[in-house]
Amino acid sequence: MNILKLKPAFKDYLWGGQILKEKYGKDTNLAILAESWEVSGHPDGPSTILNKEYAGMTLSEYLDQKDNKPLGKLNLDLNELPVLVKFIDAFSDLSIQVHPNDEYSLKHEGDNGKTEMWYILEAKPGSKIYYGTKKAMSKSEFKQSIDNDTILEKLNHVEVKKGDVIFVEAGTIHAIGAGIVICEIQQNSNITYRLYDFNRKDAQGNLRELHVDKAIAVSTLTPLSTDFKAQGQEIKYKNHTRQLLVTCLYFTTYKIEVCGEFDLNVSPDHFKAIVVISGEVSLETQKEKINLTKGESCFIDAGTSDIKVSGSGVYLTITL
């Protein structure tokens, strides 16, 4: 049973900034860093293993070599890591977008759908996200708002703060606003339909592609709750606290605050991914010790037991 420290894949989308390099330890020559794909088996940006005899392998290659057994007994029917975990730095607004569900995406894209959640790591005062519509609309009304450039008037524009937990179910119209840094946990998919992109141009001077017809087909056009709270209450133990942020069909995410040493046993049924969002955390077994600082991540095989967790920090733990 292994604990694998991971190196992320990096993305330089035009709306990104410098915070992930300056405050989260990301080492890249990219001039702009929009996203780091921390725990990823997706071919568009796989994570790479940094330790043990598996160093240099992608996480997907490792899982293939092990016949996906590290995913856990209840996940053996999967042919891939089912989640993708990212850090995202929005220096400017992202496009207004929507993701399809599994049924639509498998039929039209040959890929998974994309339900996701965001944990707000940083938000400048007054920072906002676009999230759902202000009122119910028909598809024809929605298309008209896109055609006549009034779409932003139809969407909820909601201020957010550090610690907010935002569940973005497939079909939710959304955009991360400028000044926000998040940890995103999502299905293993890279399918995004853009509805509106503020008429921005890419590095070659071209307007980025929109996907209006597909977006309208999958969008939820009724208002959604903007009570951005964790699903569970914080539970305090001797040397750590534990809080359920989101559980759904596609992932379960907890926030763990470490203030000492405690034991961790990973169920044989499920893997765990860990992403440290503040401080320092160590994971130690009889065979190895992995040190993780803010911005670092690891994958833990299902069935890994007798792990000593210690340090002073906060991490998110993700499983299915």
Active site residues: 194
Amino acid at 66: K
Closest residue by Cα to residue 224 from 265, 167, 175: 167
Q: What are residue 63's phi and psi, to 5 degrees?
A: -65, -40
Nearest CA to 297 among 280, 277, 274, 315?
274
By the 8 A CB rule, do 80 and 310 touch? Answer: no
For 23, counting Cβ atoms within 10 Å of its Cβ (0-12 exposed, 13-18 middle, 19+ buried), the class is middle
Tokens 């534990």 belong to 242
Please tell me what DSSP assigns to residue 95.
P
What proportions of the chain, in percent to the nearest 5, are helix, strand and coil?
A: 15, 40, 45
Residue 273: closest CA among 315, 232, 318: 318
Spatial distance between the Cα atoms of 153 and 156, rounded to a whole number of angstroms: 8
Using DSSP, state whether 50 is helix, strand or coil.
coil
Q: Alpha-carbon distance 299 to 310, whole Å?
A: 17
Residue 179 CA to residue 88 CA, distance in Å, equals: 11
Q: What number of H helices and E strands is found in the chain?
A: 6, 20
